[in-house]
Structure 1
């Protein structure tokens, strides 16, 4: 009976070792699968990021061109106004100088009313 018990115990120990090996393989497989899933997720995230970055750059380029056109138009208008002001200054320069000199040299004293 002792030999039979010993054989039964040995069978249980063998079954436990086999189960332990199966559990270890399952853990290794799970760990490997988790790493693969993580790598796949990183690749998907990177692809999504690249796609969104490209969309943003396209959007930015389209809207920046509109801003550049508006900026150029504003600069053009400003230059035209500056030119008009300078021309008006040159046109009336002699009269302004004459009026200033007249005001300085042709003094007309006026008595104060108290």
Structure 2
């Protein structure tokens, strides 16, 4: 009976060792698969980010051209208005100076 018990215990120990090896291989496989999945996810994220950055650059390029044109048009319009104001200033400069000097030198006291 003792020999049978010893053989049974040995069989159980062998089975336990085999089960331990299987569990260890499963853990290693799972760890490897998790690392692979993480690497795949990082690559997908990088690809998606690059795609969206390209998309944004195209969008920005398309819309900034319109802004530049509008900015140039506004700048031209502003220059025209500045020239009109300068011409009006030159045209009326003598009259304005005369009126200012007259107001300063011809003081009319008023009782308060």
Normalised by the size of structure 2, how large is the TM-score? Answer: 0.84
Which consecutive segments of 4 or more residues in structure 1 shift more than 6 A? none
Partner-residue secondary structure (3-state), 1:94: helix
Mapped to 2, the partners of 1:59 and 1:103 lie a distance apart of: 60
CA-based RMSD: 2.3
Structure 1: tracts of 5 or more residues without a match: none
- Supply the distance in 2 between the matched residues of 1:37 and 1:97 (Cα, whole angstroms): 82
- Unaligned segments of structure 2, at least 5 residues: none
TM score, norm. by length of structure 1: 0.83
User: 1:13 corresponds to which residue?
Assistant: 13
User: What is the rounded CA distance, in whole Å, between the counterparts of 1:102 and 1:25 in structure 2?
Assistant: 105
Q: Number of residues paired by the alignment? A: 112
Structural mapping, 1:49-60, within 5 Å: 49-60=49-60
